[in-house]
Each structure stands twice: as structure tokens, then as C-alpha cells.
Amino acid sequence: MEQKILARGFEAIGWGALAADCQLFAGCPTSPEDEIFTYLAQEFPKNGRHFVRASSEVSAINIAYGSTSAGGRVMVVVASAGWGLIQETMSHLVNAFLPVVVVLIQRGGPGAGSLRHAQMDYLPITRDAGQGNYRVISLAPSSVQETYDLMQLAFHLADKWRNPVIVATDTIIIRMMEPLTLKTIKLGPPLPEKDWIVKGKEHQTDGIRRFISSGQGFIPTRDFSTYLHFLKGLNEKVLRMRETEARYESYELEDAEIVLVAYGYSARVCQEALMMARAEGIKAGLMRPVTLWPFPGDVLKKKALKGAKFLTVEDGLEGLREDVMLAVEGQAEIEWVNVLDRNESGAGGAIYPGKVLEKMRKLLKGKVKVIKKGR
């Protein structure tokens, strides 16, 4: 049954988790994640779910590690300050093939940074931030409705691939208030039963003990007998995720000569800038990645071969631009709007449509230094 309400992004995170049958939340209040924390502290127990207040982010992610081993769907919410603390256990979750949904609310960095919005964590979100070589799917909502929808998708994908999934959002998206249609999404294909969970030997249908290890490398397990065997399995999984799970939204991309690439709140800014540009006769379009990883690069490559120019818009120092460069493989000019283009110097400064339009005009007129060098 559908229900239409007015909700804020952080509430959509909670509603989405409940719709996806999330059983446990673990977290600790760090701005700007504290609103979610307080909200879930009320809603989860009301709905018979576990709410665990952890003493720190490292504690929260380890509580999640334990809970997911017991089989229920679990989530952790962290802010950028505190994101660094979860990486070791994320790496362990990947090795142990365990599903967890991690919601990251981006705020200014590095370090304690600022309390306000930012998009500065693109690289650690989309690459292996912890030890070892791996990838996790990351989803980036840019509206309240999408937050609710992607939360459900996140739990599904985490279970499907037995891997953590990140939902990467920012302070603006979680605080905006928009209409939200509450509807449980049917996601296919149907997921296999979790026959790997630990619950006590006598509770296993086949009576055989289950053993979860994040040391698949020097510990042979049921699934992988040697390290090489494990590496092949992990490699294959990542390549398959990359091939099949990329998602994006396109806006007026068909005839676009300038392609904006943006996610989260800057994608909303770009939608505005797009309208302004078209009104001026500039053939602009927007590719908004819904998955930051796998990055939907193919569509950009196609546009590049047709002669399009690119403008990446991100409220961070660097990150998204690198993936656009990798996708385009030297075939196009790329300019970028980044955190240094904010409208004001305080922590609340943001990227505004006017700035995006200004750079689009420059790019069109070829008044831009082409990015030739690598990293």
C-alpha cells in the first residue's frame, strides 16, 4: 500500500531501512548524522528492530560485523568524521563475504573539517579505503525519494553480492524536505537463503557447523581452499558487479555538446544550471551517476567519441574528475567545478548554478586549459 508523506532525507533513510526489513542499526552520534541517530532511536524499537548505540564508529562497524554474521540485515550510519575509523572492518567484511549497508553523510574535511555539507570523500568511497584490493558498490541519492528507494536497493545488493554497500549522501540531501511515496520496492532476482550464517550447530539444517573468517588467505574455508582460489573468487565478483550494477540518470544527454557529470546535491544544482544553459541555447546535458562505483563510464565514452566536452561538478577537491578521465580515455576536454568554486568562504558555502553556467560558457568557447596530465 502506498502512502504519500512529506519527509526529510534522514527520515527517508529510516523508512527505507524499515521497508527493506533492516533488523539492526549501530552508530554513534557524530554531526551531521545525529539526526538520523535520534530518529532511529525512536523508530527502530517501535518497529521491533534493534537500535544499538555504539561508543564509536569503529565499535559500530564491528557490532554490524557480528550482527550480519547472525543473518539479519544490518546498517551503520557514519559521517565523514568517523569514516576513517570503519575501514579496517570494511576490509574484513569484504574478505568474509558479509553484507552490511553503510550510510555515509559527507561533511567538510579533512580531519574534523566542518559540520556542513561537502562531497569530499569520493575517492575513499569508490576505491579500497582499507587494506587490500577490493571494491564496494556505492549508491548516491540526490533526492528524498531516491534516498528511500536506494536504501532498499542497497540492502538487496548487499545480500545479493555478500559485500558491503555504501549509500553516500550529504548534509543537504539529508536535511531537505520533499514529498515521499512510501512503497516497498520489489527487487529481483530472488535472493538465495543465507546458509552461511552462524547460529549454533544444532540450529543448522544440515547439522554442520558454519565458520566465518576474514582470514581467507591463510585460512582455508568451505568456499575457498587457497589464497589464490579466494583471490580469483573476489576478482570475479568485483568484475561481475562492475559489469552489471552500474546505474545512472541522464538529462537531455542525446544532443548534448557539453556533458555535466555530478551526483548528490550538486546534481540538483546542475539540473538548474542545465535549464539556464538550454535557455541560452547551449546544448548541455547531465549524466548523474546513481552508482558511484561501478562508475557508469560507457555512456561518457560514447559522448566523448561524438565530440562532447565534459564539466564535472563536485563539492570536493578531487575525485569524480578522475573517473571521468578514466572513462573518456583522453578523447575529450574536461573542465571541472570544485569546492574552490563555492559561492562564499565560510563552511556553509556551496556550489551554485550560476558558477556552473559560467564554466559551461567558458568550456564552449574553448577558453579552458585542457587537462592533459594524469594524476
Partner 1 sequence: MVEIMEGNHALGWGALDAGCDAYCSYPVTPQNEVVEWFAREFPPRGKIFLQSTSEIESSFLCMGFVAGGARTMTSTASPGWGLYPEGMSHIVAAELPLVVALLMRGGPGQGTTRHSQMDYTSATSPGGQGGYRNIVLAPYSCQECYDFVQLAFYLSEKYRNPVILLAEPNVTRVLEQMERRPLTFEYPPDKKWALKGKARHSDGKSRLLTSGYGLTSTEEHPSYLSYLKHLHDKFEQMRASEVRYEQYEIEDARVVLVAYGYTARVSREVIKQARAEGIKAGLIRPLTLWPFPGEPIRKKAEEGAKFLVVEDNLGEIGGLSDDVRLAVAGRAEISLVTALDRHNPGEGGSIYPGKVLEKLKGISQ
Partner 2 sequence: MIKEWVCGKPRLWRDRPTALPFCPGCQHSVGVRTVLETIEELGLEGKTIFLGGGGCVYPIPTMLDLDGMQCPQGRASSIGSALKRIHGREAIIIVYQDDNDGLAVGTEPLIHAALRGDPVTVIMANNASYGSTGWQMAPAGNQIIPPEMEKPNPSIPINIIELLAEFEGVSYLARGTVSSPEDFEDTKRYVRTAIQKQIAGAGFNLVEILLACPTRWHLTPRESLKWIREEMAGKLPLGEFKGGGGI
Site residues, partner 2 (CB under 8 A): 28-31, 34-35, 37-38, 41-42, 45-46, 51, 53, 55-57, 59, 81-82, 111-112, 114-115, 347
Query: Which of residues 77 and 356 has its CB atom nearest to partner 2 in the complex?
Result: 77
Omega prior to 179 cis, within 30 of 0: no
| Nearest distance, CB of residue 201 and partner 1, angstroms | 23
From 41, 52, 58, 212, residue interacting with partner 1 (rule: CB under 8 A): 58
- The distance from CA 316 to its chain's CA centroid, rounded to whole angstroms, is 15
Q: How far is the CB of 13 from partner 1 (least distance, A)?
A: 19
Among 4, 5, 38, 112, binds partner 1 (CB under 8 A): 112
Which residue of 186, 365, 369, 375 would you call a contact of partner 1, by CB under 8 A? Answer: 375
| Binding flag, residue 131, partner 1 (CB under 8 A) | yes
Question: Can you list the positions of beta strands (E) in 72-123?
Answer: 73-79, 101-106
Residue 239 binds which of partner 1, partner 2, none (CB < 5-8 A, kind-dependent): partner 1
With CB cut-offs between 5 and 8 Å by kind, which of partner 1, partner 2, none does residue 30 bind?
Answer: partner 2
* 168 touches 292 (CB < 8 A): yes
Positions 315 through 334 that interact with partner 1 (CB under 8 A): 316-319, 322, 325-326, 329-331
Residue partners of 173: CB distance under 8 A and separation at least 6: 9, 141, 142, 143, 144, 147, 264, 265
Span of 8-16, 39-47, 110-118, 149-157 interacting with partner 1 by CB under 8 A: 110-118
Listed residue (116, 117, 155, 161) closest to 15, CA to CA? 155
Q: How far apart are CA 357 and CA 374, in angstroms?
A: 26
Report CA 326 to chain centroid distance, whole Å.
19
* Residue 42 binds: one of partner 2, partner 1, none (C-beta under 5 to 8 A by kind): partner 2
Q: Which is nearer to partner 1, 159 or 314 (CB)?
A: 314
Do 211 and 197 contact (CB within 8 A), yes or no?
Answer: no
Element (H, E) at 355: helix 353-364
Between residues 116 and 283, which has the closer beta carbon with respect to partner 2? 116
Instruction: Please identify, using beta-carbon distances, which residue of 79 and 176 lies nearer to partner 2.
Output: 79
Residues 332-371 that bind partner 1 (CB under 8 A): 339-340, 342, 344-347, 349
Q: From the CA atom positions of the chain, what is the Rg in Å?
A: 21
How far, in Å, CA of 291 to CA of 287, rounded? 12
Q: Which residues ranging from 169 to 208 are in contact with partner 1 (CB under 8 A)?
A: none
Using CB under 8 A, pick the residue from 227, 280, 354, 367 that binds partner 1.
227
Applying the rule CB under 8 A, the residues between 257 and 296 that interact with partner 1 are none
Dist. CA 39–CA 21, nearest whole Å: 17
If the CB atoms of residues 159 and 315 are measured against partner 1, the closer one turns out to be 315
Q: Under a CB-based contact definition with an 8 Å cutoff, are residues 253 and 274 in contact?
A: no
Count, residues in the chain: 375
DSSP 107: B
Of residues 53 and 283, the one with the C-beta less far from partner 2: 53
Q: Which of 179, 191, 235, 302 binds partner 1 (CB under 8 A)?
A: 235
Q: How far apart are CA 325 and CA 305, in angstroms?
A: 13
Do 212 and 198 touch, CB atoms closer than 8 A?
yes
